[in-house]
Structure 1
Amino acid sequence: MAVLGHMENQGSSIITALGAGSGIDFIQLASDLSEASFEPRRANLENRNTALEAQISSATLLRSSLNNLARALGDRVRNGDLSPQPSLGNSAIADVTTTVGIAPQGNYSLEVSQLAQSQTLASQSYGAGTDLVGEGTLNIRFGTVDGTSFTEDTEQDGLAIEVTADDTLASIAAKISTGSDGKLFAYVAQGSSGAQLVIKGEDGAQNGFVLEPVSTGSLPSGTPGNLDYLNWNPASDSGELRQAAQDAVFNLDTVEFTSASNTVTGLPEGIGLTLNETNVGAPATLSFNANDGAITAVMTDFVAALNDVVLLLNEEASGLGSTLGNDSGARGLRADLSSLASEIVMPGAEDGEPSTLGDLGLSITREGTFQLDTERLDATLASSPDGAAAMFTAGAFGVFATIDGLARENTLFSDPGSLGGSITRYEAQIDRNEERLSRVADNQESLRNRLTRSFIAAQSNVTQSQSTLSFLQQQIDAFNSSN
């Protein structure tokens, strides 16, 4: 760079010397002429890029507004409050949930005859939790306890807990809890009868268990301090079993179901239950009712959000003078919005059931804005509450699917007729213009160099002519003086 700078200074000195007081800066003149030659084209490209960037910004705003509308509506649908709400005649029996995307209908009877519970054992008594339990291995197997019999569940891995000579009642409780990977929980209860090891399993009939210690200690068998003092099976039970493991049993519409847990899923129509109490002989009625208030509220918000999109569309794409006045993506969005109220969103709806957004009260004014026809919405909710609720699911059809599809179709970067396609097109034009600006800069620099060389050569010729003219003038002056 230092060499280049030296050459430029040298060229300037040469021109200044050759200029011989002419007052002309040929370096600046060459730069000014080359810049003036290319300024119109460069300014046109830069102005075009500024306009394209504004178009990208406007299309991005519209694209974001559509995606935000679809996202917000999806959140409301997935929240579940727009689906039919469950109502249980005896609410103390169970808590009821529904699956997003499924709208249960009709009434069901629910009768709970048995709750799921876990097996609980309380060992024979020790003096204190610090008492030694004896050395050996405490084996635990899982399965079903039925009266005095035990049937092992071979699908469940048993436990083999190593017990050292230093283990106490408290330390073996900790080993059981940590070694069972959550299947068992053990602790020491210091009650009026002394210290007892309490062990609790998981809910469900197959989660019962037996204790089968193998002692290597020296104390007499069957006494505290010998590990076999913790032995337990249903045939030898003498009061250690405080609660038997069992499944939940209930009837839904007189059909019997069993569950290892009181939290039950996978029932018909996406119904879920958390069983709390039994109601043998007194079935409770489970019904599902449309949440009219929530549907009206979401339609009100939906119309307001649509009008925000329309307002933005009018600001950015109304007429040829606007940023997106001649944009195909903006025109496509306007066309889609104009037919939105009449679009069928529930193609499988039966005659008389709501199938369009217009059936939910959506209408469009002459000015192209949206409004909510509350009378039509109320009539739909009154005549077909289940059909209206079914339109607010996360399935393949419905209000959300329609708006989500509208957003996707109008924002795809790969579709030249969408807002996303417009953004892609404008960005490509900017890239091409940047390449042209680069070529303009190269051509301008090439012209400046040519002009500089030309001016140096021309000035050199002028200087030589001036020198010759000066010599001749001297000769003439000398001749005149001699005469």
Structure 2
Amino acid sequence: MENQGSSIISALGAGSGIDFIQLANDLSEASFEPRRANLESRNASLEVQISAAALIRSSLNDLASALGDRVRNGDLSPQPNLANPAVADVTTTTGIAPQGSYSLEVSQLAQGQTLALQSYGAGSDLVGEGTLNIRFGSVSGASFTEDTEQTALAIDVTADDTLDSLAAKISNGSDGKLFAYVAEGSNGAQLVIKGKDGAPNGFVLEPTSAGGSATPGDLSYLAWNPASDAGELRQASQDAVFRLDTVELTSSSNTVTGLPEGIGLTLNETNIGTPTTLSFETNDGAISAVMTDFVAALNDVVSLLSQEASGLGSTLNNDSGARGLRADLSALANEVVMPGAEDGEPSTLGDLGLSITRDGTFELDTARLNETLTSSPDGAAAMFTAGAFGVFATIDGLARDNTLFSDPGSLGGSIARYEAQIERNDERLARVAENQESLRNRLTRSFIAAQSNVTASQSTLSFLEQQIEAFNQSN
């Protein structure tokens, strides 16, 4: 945009020989340059401080996150060991450290009911129009007890349905409760229907059709109940039955949850009369490895603090958030992470071998760590859970406390404070720009007036000179 007054001065011929537009720009800029340069320099310094604080803050959060991943992975918790691993697969719940041992004897696996119904010539044979009603419940001998908690099925069968299409309708329309297919063997084509594991998941077939002749081609031919069974029942539904520490338990599934100390079982085979032992062993190697990595990660944080917040001239010198983190780190080895530990049980990070040197860095005392793993393996393992207490809870709390934006004494608070200062400086810079523009406009107007006066004086002088010259010539 052309400066105000430039066209007027040009029209007046700028007879003074001075570029008043440039002069107004230069004077206004020179008047405010020191203040603007000071604010911009302060903002640049604040940006560097924000970057340094954010880097330390990020490294602290990364440490807590990585440690949480290791803890949730479960390899730091006591690992299950089943003397006869063929009997079951064992799982544990994150955050719980099982202890001791249990005996396990499986006398029966959970199974689903299987029916192989009467034969047809082929899977493409029509089955007859009607409704195939299926009720669920327990089958015991020749009796059936309906489970009214389960919704019965009513499968619509059209005149065009074949044995194959009916199998698909049963599978697709049972919401996962049943699976059906057609097996074509030496006895012809048979509809096979399998139910879910567990005693309450047995079922009966109660078709309704117009004919009711119970012959191939009429839907009644597919009726089944235990009282009329003629060999169609190939497997009865049943619960899993097992003994944990001699106490008999049942489950409708071979995947068992809700056991003591968060133990889970997937039962694979029976071991009647020969109970196997389930025990839990501390993973010493995994704990030693994670402590080594933990110390290295802590030293990365300490190194950043040393680079950015050590002495005069450092980026975060005298920063309250950096001071607070340094104080927390210096006390970390003696931090009680298991306040409920009994006498003689490990309770601090120092018990896991964490120690701090005179220069503020960390090191791992492997002798002390091994002593703890030997004398109290269960106590050591309990420190690596995802509960309210333990190593992860402590480091996660440390990271949160030192990175909160709402806490002025944390690194997050420092970042928020520096950002607020930049925002205030930006507002000042905007006012400087406004004031500079206002001064430039005032100077431009003054120079226009001055240029007009100079031009007028030059015109008057020229007139007087002409009059004097004319007067002299007349004499």
Shorter-chain TM-score: what band? over 0.9
Matches within 5 A, 1:350-369: 350-369=342-361
1:147 corresponds to 2:141:
yes
Q: Distance between the aligned counterparts of 1:5 and 1:36, measured in 2?
A: 20
1:81 equivalent among 75, 84, 87: 75
1:100 equivalent among 94, 104, 120: 94
Report the TM-score, using the length of structure 1 for normalisation. Answer: 0.95
Q: What is the CA distance between 1:481 and its match in structure 2?
A: 6.2
1:330 equivalent among 322, 326, 333: 322
- Equivalent pairs: percent with the same residue? 82
SS of the residue aligned with 1:375? helix
Q: What is the CA distance between 1:195 and its match in structure 2?
A: 0.9
Q: Distance between the aligned counterparts of 2:293 and 2:434, measured in 1?
A: 56
Matches within 5 A, 1:279-290: 279-290=271-282
SS of the residue aligned with 2:180? strand
Q: What is the CA distance between 1:222 and its match in structure 2?
A: 2.6
Q: What is the CA distance between 1:410 and its match in structure 2?
A: 0.5
1:457 corresponds to 2:454:
no
SS of the residue aligned with 1:314? helix
* 373-382 vs 321-330, greater mean Cα deviation: 321-330
* 309-318 vs 193-202, greater mean Cα deviation: 309-318
Q: What is the CA distance between 1:185 and its match in structure 2?
A: 0.4
Task: Please name the residue that 2:234 is paired with.
Answer: 242
Count of residue pairs brought into register by the alignment? 475
Which AA in structure 2 matches 1:196? Q
Q: For residues 272 and 482 of structure 1, do their structure 2 counterparts lie closer, same or farther at Cα, with a shift above 3 Å needed? A: same
Task: Please name the residue that 1:426 is paired with.
Answer: 418
Q: Distance between the aligned counterparts of 1:326 and 1:185, measured in 2?
A: 71
CA contact (8 A) 2:5 2:444 kept: no
Task: Please name the residue that 2:44 is paired with.
Answer: 50
Task: Please name the residue that 1:13 is paired with.
Answer: 10
Deviation string 1:95-129 (CA, Å, 9 cap, x unpaired) is: 00000000000011111111000000000111111
Q: Distance between the aligned counterparts of 1:7 and 1:45, measured in 2?
A: 28
* 378-387 vs 319-328, greater mean Cα deviation: 319-328
Which AA in structure 2 matches 1:116? A
Q: What is the CA distance between 1:465 and its match in structure 2?
A: 3.2
Task: Please name the residue that 1:64 is paired with.
Answer: 58
Q: Distance between the aligned counterparts of 1:481 and 1:319, measured in 2?
A: 88
Which AA in structure 1 matches 2:389? F
Q: For residues 318 and 6 of structure 1, do their structure 2 counterparts lie closer, same or farther at Cα, with a shift above 3 Å needed? A: closer
Q: What is the CA distance between 1:468 and its match in structure 2?
A: 3.6
Q: For residues 135 and 56 of structure 1, do their structure 2 counterparts lie closer, same or farther at Cα, with a shift above 3 Å needed? A: same
Deviation string 1:351-400 (CA, Å, 9 cap, x unpaired) is: 11000101000111111111100000000000000000000000000000
1:126 corresponds to 2:109:
no
CA contact (8 A) 2:9 2:451 kept: no
CA contact (8 A) 2:3 2:21 kept: no
Q: Distance between the aligned counterparts of 2:170 and 2:87, measured in 1?
A: 34
Matches within 5 A, 1:195-274: 195-217=189-211, 221-274=213-266
Q: Distance between the aligned counterparts of 1:8 and 1:294, measured in 2?
A: 80
Q: What is the CA distance between 1:323 and its match in structure 2?
A: 1.2
Task: Please name the residue that 2:158 is paired with.
Answer: 164
Structure 2 stretches lacking a partner, 5+ long: none
Deviation string 1:289-331 (CA, Å, 9 cap, x unpaired) is: 1000000000000011111111111111112211111211111
Q: Distance between the aligned counterparts of 1:463 and 1:134, measured in 2?
A: 116
Q: What is the CA distance between 1:461 and its match in structure 2?
A: 2.4
CA contact (8 A) 2:4 2:441 kept: no
Q: For residues 459 and 254 of structure 1, do their structure 2 counterparts lie closer, same or farther at Cα, with a shift above 3 Å needed? A: same
RMSD: 1.5
Q: What is the CA distance between 1:224 and its match in structure 2?
A: 1.4
Q: What is the CA distance between 1:451 and its match in structure 2?
A: 0.8
1:90 corresponds to 2:101:
no
Q: What is the CA distance between 1:436 and its match in structure 2?
A: 0.6
Task: Please name the residue that 2:380 is paired with.
Answer: 388
Deviation string 1:142-163 (CA, Å, 9 cap, x unpaired) is: 0000111100000001111121
1:310 corresponds to 2:302:
yes
Deviation string 1:20-76 (CA, Å, 9 cap, x unpaired) is: 2x3210000011000000000000001111111111111111111111111000000
Q: Distance between the aligned counterparts of 2:2 and 2:374, measured in 1?
A: 87
SS of the residue aligned with 2:115? strand
Q: Distance between the aligned counterparts of 1:295 and 1:460, measured in 2?
A: 89
Q: What is the CA distance between 1:467 and its match in structure 2?
A: 3.7
1:408 equivalent among 390, 394, 400: 400
Which AA in structure 2 matches 1:204? G
Q: For residues 6 and 465 of structure 1, do their structure 2 counterparts lie closer, same or farther at Cα, with a shift above 3 Å needed? A: closer
Task: Please name the residue that 1:32 is paired with.
Answer: 26
Report the TM-score, using the length of structure 2 for normalisation. Answer: 0.97
Which AA in structure 1 matches 2:142? T
SS of the residue aligned with 2:192? strand
Q: What is the CA distance between 1:9 and its match in structure 2?
A: 4.2
